[in-house]
Amino acid sequence: MFRRGKLHFLSTKDDRIKIMNERINLTEKHLLDICASFAACTRKIAKCRNAFDDLGHKVQNFAEEEKINYSLSDGLNSITTSLTVQADYMDLLVHRLEMKIVNELSQFENLCKTTRDNLRAATIARDKEVLKQQQLMEIKSKFTANNTAADSELLKAKLEVNRSNKEIDEIINTFEKRKLSEIRSLLTDFILISLKYHTKTLEVLSASYYDVSNIDENGDFNEFQKLMKTKGEPTGRKQALKKGMRSQSMESLDHDTLLSPLKHTKKISRSNKSLTSKTDDGHDNTADDDEEDDDDDDEEDLEASADNTNDEEEHSGTASDDDEPTESISAAKPATLANKMDEKKTKEQTKQPFRAISSAHVRTQRQLHGKSN
């Protein structure tokens, strides 16, 4: 009966060791897979961080080159800042995942290996003591007389087996406790790291959302329309401005005295008209020229008589003031009249050179006409 119970005890311990080995293998397999997945996720987050940096540079370039839509440029700058800060938080996330998750998970390989080795060593030691116990029991059954030495050795073997079983139990319990504690700590760290990252990112994204929502679409579109109007009609506008300036300048020229000689048709003297008519019509219009010259001479005589009367009044006034005799006045009248006439002729010649030329031309024509008759 004892032997059967002992064998039953050994089989029970062997079942526990088998289960424990399966647990160690299961833990090692899945935790190493999780570690590899975390490492891949960390690498992808690092790539995403680099992509965010690149995206931030592209958005910043767009914001710097945008010169029309000012509110859009401000929104793009806000997004650039948000992307840069998110990239920094991603960098922290990568470092934290590497230090607190990936490295800790990678240590489970050593833990499982050490536990397996310790369990194997304890199992081997226990099996030795069990075999020794079996041998002592066989010796005791053969030699029934004087079994005191065999009983003492059998007691020692039982104690060693119990110690080995306790060691195996301690190894199993230590592994399970450490596995549960570290997996719980790792999962908690992962959640806290993710919460920190997403909390900071949420703050940044909230601020960016506020800035982007302040983009003035209508204002930017109106600025674009103004730019298109100024760019689409530059030539017409410039031409209109030039035309307005030109019209003002031409009007000022029209009101000034710098008119073209061709426009002074009303101010040209009649002697000039007669000269031009002479050159165009020839000898057919000599009679009209004579009449015009006679009219001019009549006007000159009237002006001369008016001047003479004025001079006489002046001289009479001066004479009365100075109490000079009337004889000197009557003697001086012909001389003054002759001087006045000479001055008048010289003035007319200097003022109207075309009239003098025309009168000379008329005289020559008359002389030629008289000789021909």
* Tens digits of residue pLDDT in 67-106: 878 888 888 888 999 999 999 999 999 999 999 999 999 8
Contact 90, 45 (CB under 8 A): yes
Count of CB atoms within 10 A of residue 211's CB?
18
Best CA proximity match to 66, nearest among 215, 210, 200: 215
Distance of CA 34 to CAs 46, 148, 185, Å? 18, 58, 15
CA 36 – CA 278 distance, rounded (Å) = 120
Alpha carbon 370 to its chain centroid, in Å, reads: 96
Q: What is the pLDDT of residues 244-302, one digit of tens each?
A: 544 444 454 444 444 444 444 444 445 444 445 544 544 444 444 455 555 555 555 55
Per-residue pLDDT, 199: 93
Residues of the chain with pLDDT under 50: 1-12, 234-238, 241-242, 245-250, 252-269, 271-275, 278-279, 281-289, 306, 309-333, 351
Number of other CB atoms surrounding residue 267 within 10 Å: 9
Supply φ then ψ for residue 269, to 5 degrees.
-70, 160
Contact 84, 60 (CB under 8 A): no
Task: Give the burial class of 137: count Cβ atoms within 10 A of its Cβ; 0-12 exposed, 13-18 middle, 19 or more buried.
Answer: middle
Q: Which segments of the chain does DSSP mark as H helices, in order?
A: 2-65, 70-97, 103-142, 148-213, 217-232, 234-255, 270-281, 286-322, 326-351, 353-372
Q: How far apart are CA 34 and CA 106, in angstroms?
A: 9
Give the whole-angstrom CA distance, residue 316 versus residue 326.
Answer: 9
Give the count of beta carbons closer than 10 Å to the beta carbon of residue 24: 21
Q: Do residues 278 and 369 lie in contact, with contact meaning Cβ atoms separated by under 8 Å?
A: no
